[in-house]
Amino acid sequence: MKLFVALLLCALAISSSFAFDPSPLQDICVAVDEPKNAVFVNGKFCKNPNLTVADDFLFRGINIPRDTNNNVGSIVTTVAVDQLPGLNTLGISLARIDYARHGLNPPHIHPRATEVIMCVEGELYVGFVLSNQLGNRLITQVLKPGDVFVFPFAMIHFQLNIGKTAAVAISSLSSQNPGVITVANAVFGSKPPIKEDVLTKAFQVDKKVIDDLQSQFWYDNHH
């Protein structure tokens, strides 16, 4: 009997250790009482498996260079669940990043993913910033073709082309919908704008500086 109780307790402990809520797959998901009022579940609705076709699992053209003629000199081509439906529930996605000379993929975070990036062409200065608890320490590296670097989950990170030519990188992310929050866009380009009193105190600058920053056009280079 004691052995049975011990085994039962072990089984309960093991099963509870694997119980968890699924990670959110979109920014918000407000509960509704009536299914008819719902627009989607945590993620996407599943297609009948008997109706799936090969194209559901195919994305073409990741090899095609994108136009980097924009304010930041870079463009991110995302291959997530919205672009490749077959990724639904699989927990992965992909992106191609093209950089003009001196192009920047500005400081941003992926609220739902860790990112692994590989430099394919050119030379990239990359980095991420650790949390307040670790003193906001900056971790940086210079990547050359074939180099791989990891941006930990939800950390602010960036890439800057420091080479003499255009650059290309491929990244893999640990979510079917990693999301992106570009820091400058979110802080100074939110809709409606964050109150000036908040930003002047947070950044310890004059109101004119905040007015100028909020009047800028904050380009979203993620597509």
Query: pLDDT tens-digit profile of 158-208?
Result: 999 999 999 999 999 999 999 999 999 999 999 999 999 999 999 999 999
Three-state SS for 51? helix
Whether omega before 107 lies within 30 degrees of 0, making that bond cis, reads no
Give the integer Cα–Cα distance in Å for 157 and 105: 9
Least confident of 26-35, 87-96, 120-129, 183-192: 26-35
Sequence-distant (≥ 6) Cβ neighbours of residue 169 within 8 angstroms: 96, 97, 99, 117, 118, 119, 120, 124, 143, 159
DSSP class of residue 7?
A: H
DSSP 21: P
* Between 71 and 49, the higher pLDDT residue: 71
Choice among 1-5, 134-138, 197-201 with the minimum mean pLDDT: 1-5
> What's domain 57-179's architecture?
Sandwich (2.60)
Long-range contacts of 48-52 (CB under 8 A, 24+ apart): 52/86
Average pLDDT, the chain: 87
pLDDT value, residue 27: 74
Q: Is the pLDDT of residue 35 over 90?
A: no
End-to-end CA distance of the chain: 62
Helical axes 207-214 vs 196-203, angle rounded to 10°: 110
What are the residue ranges spanned by the domains of the chain? 57-179
Q: Whole-angstrom Cα distance, residue 16 to residue 21?
A: 12
